[in-house]
Amino acid sequence: MGVEIERKFLVRDDTWREGARGKAIRQGYLALGPPVAVRVRISGAAAILNIKKAVLDIEREEFEYAIPLDDAHTLLDGLCSGAVIEKTRFEITHAGVLWEVDEFHGANAGLIVAEVELASIDQHVVRPPWAGEEVSDDPRYLNTSLAQRPFREW
């Protein structure tokens, strides 16, 4: 069993962009939860089926499995609930820790969120200067929520 420990922050400015390279991601949900969210994600030529406990907590059970790319396209194009999420993910290392910055497009355009995955729930994190307000406890910023009520509708 996998466990994800993750904190989320709004991005306060564009200084993170210097030297950052991103990759396009399309993802949708077969089940939005609770209690379980089932996600299909395409990133480049890779496709993943993800099963995650759909609770508002920084620590959640998570399972991921590679699936055929054609299957992922079929699932995204016809079987997902809510909006398909489109975003560009940038990976940035700060103070020796990998941060992922997601710049959303489509119905969630204008939203930029930084995430950091932790090894333990009490791990100290040095926040980059561009990481603003923490939104780990705000359900609106869950991708499952963004699929149901996109950022542009807030």
Which of the residues are catalytic?
A: 29
Q: Which helix or strand (DSSP H or E) is residue 28 part of?
A: strand 22-31
Interior CA angle at 88 toward 114 and 46, to 5°? 115
State in Å, rounded, how far the first CA of the chain is from the last one: 35
Amino acid at residue number 64: E
72 backbone dihedrals φ, ψ, rounded to 5°: -60, -45
Place of tokens 């959640």: 60
Q: Which helix or strand (DSSP H or E) is residue 75 part of?
A: helix 69-78
